[in-house]
A and B are shown apart, each in its own frame.
Chain A
Amino acid sequence: MNPVELKYNKDHEYARVSGNTVTLGITDHAQESLGDVVFVELPDDGTTVTVGKSYGTVESVKAVSDITASISGKVVEVNTLVLDSPDLLNSDPYGEGWLIKVEADDLSPLETMMTVAEYEAFVAEEEH
């Protein structure tokens, strides 16, 4: 169920690449671990995010989690739908529950991210 075309990091976030634009979100495993998501805070359009740095927050009833950018660049689109309906992160993390789109300065940080097979092995290892 984790899409094969995405790249994944150890914080259970994904990156979807389309040309120079990268869509960021949290994985199914992340939403499952967090539980019911009730609040999402995202940067504004036009601001910049930096690879490895927090760009927002996802909160479930019980937990607060930072979300980390897998890429540096300018935010070109914010999913305002999830600001009003944070539960989209639970119901459709890879679809309607995406978070932001970034115009990447440089796509090379994606090379260090995991493929779906590597990510699933990582999750299995972590759960062990």
Chain B
Amino acid sequence: MVELKRTPLYEEHKGAKAKLIDFGGWEMPVQYAGVIEEHHAVRKNAGLFDTSHMGEIDVRGKDALAYVQMLITNDASILHDGKILYSPMCYPTGGIVDDLLVYRYDLEHFFIVVNASNTDKDYSWMLEQVGDFEVSVDNVSDQYVQLALQGPLAETILQRLTKVDLSKLVYYTFTHGEVDGVPCLISRTGYTGEDGFEIYPSPEFGRQLWQKILEVGATDGVQPIGLGARDTLRFEARLPLYGHELGREITPLEAGIGFFVKFNKVDFIGKDALQAQKEQGVPRKLVGLEMVGRGIARAHYPLQKDGKDIGFVTSGSYSPTLNKNIALGLIPTELAVQGEVIDVLIREKPVQAKIIPTLFYKRGK
């Protein structure tokens, strides 16, 4: 058996009696107090996540921007220093290698955050694409702990620990500053549909910050949050997850993230295939589903219409915020009609579900 990797916060999770699971080769907390309680804590107050398993890749050099532009489908030329961009990274076929956050330090230095289980694959892929570009590409994942503090009270709580004026740190920007005296990269980003921050200290300060944030946020109801609630939170906010909504056989246009494919920028990997798909008509579409019959649609369950397979569920769950059973599914575009009823095959039995808008939850301003 392959030994599971652990983040520098492992002992904290164990001490908190978290339930630990194998997540893409990492021994990670799936829940502490319970998925539903943790989910509500983030929507209502704030929650702290250990996301240190995420990968970080540094791109440096004279051609850094040109290289990044070639790798990703979104347009990195619009970034300024301290700004962050979300983007798919595609194969020449238009299928997705991964989805990324691209942080611009300056024109010759980009910091790219990738999905934990894709880190090695992404790093190899990025190295293969270097060619004649004058860049160095380094997997620096081991050099960071990543903590996510998410929820409406995230700013209030984090502000107690830093002199950085967080009210000035707008969504999808980052800065460097001290949190509890520890130098960190602080970015206003997240994966929950709530306001919040992702904080990157060196590994040796991970436990100190974890403890400190829980301590100063205790009166505001901050709780440690496991991967279980991380998934239900991101799912309600229609934030795609690699291996579910995104994958080698799914294009960004199909996955509903076509907004992040910019055809009017310089050439990028996958452009021709995606352009062709756009011109010929995107064959599949990601739809929202609300169960009409009793049951929970789960990832990979078949979707049917009139007894014929038409697609599959990409993610599905009980939604704690809506108190309903909902799902995301990939079906032929011509069948993706709001209000239409299709079937989810649950343990061989067709159960009715209605097609609804995919954005299940949007936070109030």
B317 at the interface (CB under 8 A from A): yes
Instruction: Collect the chain A residues with CB atoms within 8 Å of residue B347's CB.
Output: 57
Contact assessment for B294 and A35 in the assembled complex, using a CB-CB cutoff below 8 Å: no
Q: Are B35 and A36 in contact (CB under 8 A)?
A: yes
Which secondary structure dominates where chain B touches chain A? mixed
Interface mask (A32-70 → B, CB under 8 Å = 1, otherwise 0): 000110110100000000000000010111101000000
Determine the chain A residues whose CB is within 8 A of the CB of B36 once the complex forms: 36, 38, 61
Known contacts A38-B318, A39-B318, A39-B325; A61 and B295 CB within 8 A of each other: no
B contact residues, total (Cβ < 8 Å): 19
Q: What residues on A are CB-neighbors of B28 within 8 Å? A: none
At the interface, is chain A mostly helix, strand, loop or mixed?
Answer: strand
Q: Type the 1/0 row for B277-305, where 1 means its CB is closer than 8 Å to any CB of A.
A: 00000000000000000111010000000
> Within the assembled complex, what's the spacing in Å between the Cα atoms of A36 and B229?
11
A86 to chain B, nearest CB (A): 9
Q: In this assembly, does B34 line the interface, its C-beta being within 8 Å of a C-beta of chain A?
A: yes
Q: Which residues of B contact A39 (CB under 8 A)?
A: 294-296, 318, 325
- Are A61 and B232 closer than 8 Å at their CB atoms? yes
B82 → A minimal CB distance (Å): 37
A62:B30 contact, CB within 8 angstroms: yes
By a CB distance below 8 angstroms, the chain A residues around B317 are: 61
Interface size class of A (residues with CB under 8 A): 10 to 19
* Given A57-B347, A61-B36, A61-B228, A35-B31 contact (CB < 8 Å): yes
List A contacts of B35 (CB < 8 A): 35-36, 60-62
A59 to B30, CA, bound (A): 16
Given A57-B347, A62-B30, A38 and B296 touching (CB < 8 A)? Answer: yes
> Do residues B228 and A62 form an inter-chain contact, with CB atoms below 8 A?
yes
Chain A residues with CB under 8 Å of B228's CB are: 35, 61-62
Indicate with 1 or 0, residue by residue over B294-332, a CB within 8 angstroms of chain A CB atoms. 111010000000000000000001101000010000000
CA distance A60 to B295 in the complex (A): 12
Q: B295 contacts A41, CB within 8 Å?
A: yes
CB distance from B292 to the nearest CB of A (A): 15
Min CB distance B98 to A, Å, is 23
CB-based contact B298/A64 at 8 Å: yes
Is A59 touching B31 in the complex (CB atoms < 8 A)?
Answer: no
Give the residue name and chain of the B residue nearest to A90 (CB).
B34
Query: Residue-by-residue, is B219-263 near A (CB-CB < 8 Å gives 1, otherwise 0)?
Result: 000000000100110000000000000000000000000000000
Q: How far is the CB of A83 from chain B (nearest CB, A)?
A: 8
Closest residue on chain B to residue A87 by CB atoms: B36
In whole angstroms, what is the CA distance A39 to B34 when docked? 16
Provide the residues of chain B in CB contact with A60, threshold 8 Å.
Answer: 35
* A39 to B298 Cα, complex, angstroms: 12
Please tell me if the beta carbons of A61 and B298 are within 8 angstroms of each other in the complex. no
Which residues of chain B (19-57) have a CB below 8 Å from chain A?
19, 30-31, 34-37
Residue of B nearest to A59 (CB): B296
Q: B349 — nearest CB in chain A belongs to which residue? A: A41
Tell me the residues in window 55-101 of chain B with beta carbons closer than 8 Å to chain A beta carbons: none
- In the complex, which residue of chain A has the Cβ closest to the Cβ of B294? A41
By a CB distance below 8 angstroms, the chain B residues around A57 are 347
Please give the distance in Å from B233's CB to the nearest CB on chain A.
Answer: 11
Chain B residue contacts of A83, Cβ below 8 A = 294
CB-CB under 8 A from B31, the residues of chain A are 35
Q: Encode contact with B along A12-40: 1 for CB under 8 Å, 0 otherwise.
A: 00000000000000000000000110110
Tell me, rounded to whole Å, the shortest Cβ–Cβ distance linking A68 to chain B.
Answer: 14
Q: State the Cβ distance, B360 to closest chain A Cβ, in Å.
A: 15
List chain A residues, Cβ under 8 A from B295.
39, 41
Q: Which 7 A-B pairs give the minimum distances between C-beta atoms?
A: A38-B318, A61-B35, A36-B36, A39-B296, A62-B228, A36-B34, A36-B35
Q: What is the interface of chain B, defined by CB distance below 8 A to chain A?
A: 19, 30-31, 34-37, 228, 231-232, 294-296, 298, 317-318, 320, 325, 347
* 15 A-B interface contacts by CB (under 8 A): A35-B35, A38-B36, A39-B294, A39-B295, A39-B318, A41-B295, A57-B347, A60-B35, A61-B35, A61-B36, A61-B228, A61-B232, A61-B317, A61-B320, A83-B294
Given contacts A35-B31, A35-B34, A36-B34, 19 further A-B pairs with CB under 8 A are A35-B35, A35-B228, A36-B37, A38-B318, A39-B295, A39-B296, A39-B318, A39-B325, A41-B295, A59-B296, A59-B318, A60-B35, A61-B228, A61-B232, A61-B317, A62-B35, A62-B228, A64-B296, A83-B294
Q: Which residues of A contact B (CB under 8 A)?
A: 35-36, 38-39, 41, 57, 59-62, 64, 83
